[in-house]
Amino acid sequence: MADRKKAKSTTQVQRHRAIKNQRKRKDGTVEITYHPGVYINEHTTRKHRGQPDECYYICYRHKSKLRWEKVGWASEGYTPALAENIRAERIRAKRHGNDLPVKNRPSPLFKTVAGRYLQWLKDNQKGTVADQNRYDNHLEGPIGNTRLDEIDPAILEKLKKNLFGDGLSPQSVKHVLGLIRRIVNKAIDLKLWGGTNPVRKGSLPRVSNTRLRFLSQAESQALIEACNDHLKPIVVTALSTGMRRGEILSLHWDQVDLEHGFIFLEKTKSGKRREIPISTILKETLAALPRDPEVPWVFYNARTKEPWKEIKRSFASALEAAKIKDFHFHDLRHTFASHLVMNGTPLATVSQLLGHSDISMTMRYAHLAPEHQAAAVDSLMPLFPSGDGSVKMVEAAPPATEELKERKAGKARKGKKKPAKKSPRKTAAKK
């Protein structure tokens, strides 16, 4: 054995090449067996079969770097020969393309991958305000310092219970859990973690998406009159286009074509490009807005030269002044769609204007046009003989008396058996 050097700890000494045994031959020479690439550490206190316990390591090159791998202790049944065989398997796998074992890395913290996800949203110019607020208010404290492999259904159920206890609606809780799912999916895509997503569809609360609040014509006019100078064009744009709040507040002038009358949205919620016609009122409203060559946004703060981030206060003040209750900014989108349907616009056209990925999302407005559904059914009237939609049953005339007698006589003749004809040969023989 090589001479020991001062150990770094009480259980580790200098690594040295392992020797299987030293056996004397009959001629007096000593046979020494080496195991290339196999090294040992001797335990300073633990014994195995009366000798210091040995831990075997193997060493090989991978991608031009020297790589060390622990095999195991002699007390666990490992031997230098077994360690040498494992090293040979590693070298064979390296040469023939098989994957080598990867060291187990600790699972990343949730706050680490959440930061990467939010940065990805910012880099790709996606809406980060809502997700950032959800993370700051509902996730950073409860699970920010939790590792991804520790987030299980029990932790999620506890989080869900606490969110409901804080007064959040089922839709808000669903948004928070959906954010967790998106963060973990992004960690898997970036190969920061190799596990499975703990948020399943079954764990999301069920939401009844039946609320459909929209303004009447009088309420719409009252709301527009109650808006201040910076809010009024935003509300007019929402009522004229059905655009979402984020789409409106991030709108650039290069997306607006006043000459041809279109607004072009490249990045939408559904991921599809959308072209929205500009009405006459909206065209006049946009043309009257002040424009700064250094500011690309349509709606911006004249003092800070930055786009409006939030309009909750001013919108709430306008609702209060117009005496409108139970109404949100997103309901302006419902107002746009509802009045289109009530004015006879086909649902397929409404779906395209709203940018719905599936027309089933637009079917929530179908009940607003019962008269159009009735007109569609009435359009089938020409299919019927009367032409007025009713089906007239033509009664057959009763048969005459003589015809009845003939029918009865025919049935009687069919019921009688005809007499058998006599054979002419038999008749001749009798004669």
In whole angstroms, give the CA distance from residue 328 to residue 105. 47
Q: Is 413 a catalytic residue?
A: no
Beta bridge partners of 30: 24
Catalytic residue among 39, 56, 135, 365: 365
Choosing from 35, 244, 245, 334, the catalytic residue is 244
Contact between residue 235 and residue 311 where contact means Cβ atoms under 8 Å apart: no
Single-letter amino acid code for the residue at 96 = H
The sign one gets for the Cα dihedral 327, 333, 336, 340 is: negative
Q: Are 276 and 254 in contact (CB under 8 A)?
A: no
Query: In the numeric block, which tokens belong to residue 222?
Result: 């009252």
DSSP-derived 3-state class of residue 65: strand
> How many other C-beta atoms can be found within 10 angstroms of the C-beta atom of residue 13?
18
365 is catalytic: yes
Residue type, 350: V
Q: Distance between CA atoms of 287 and 291, rounded to whole angstroms?
A: 9
Is 78 tagged catalytic? Answer: no
Q: At what angle do helices 347-354 and 331-342 cross, to 10 degrees?
A: 160
The upper half-sphere exposure of residue 295, i.e. CA atoms within 13 Å in the direction of its Cβ, equals: 18
Could you say which of 43, 160, 174, 333 is catalytic?
Answer: 333
Residue 96 annotated to the active site:
no
Q: Would residue 58 be called left, alpha or beta, if left means φ above 0 and alpha means ψ between -120 and 50 degrees?
A: beta
Options 48, 252, 312, 330, the catalytic residue? 330
Q: Which of 232, 267, 269, 372 is catalytic?
A: 269
Q: Active-site residues: which are they?
A: 244, 269, 330, 333, 356, 365
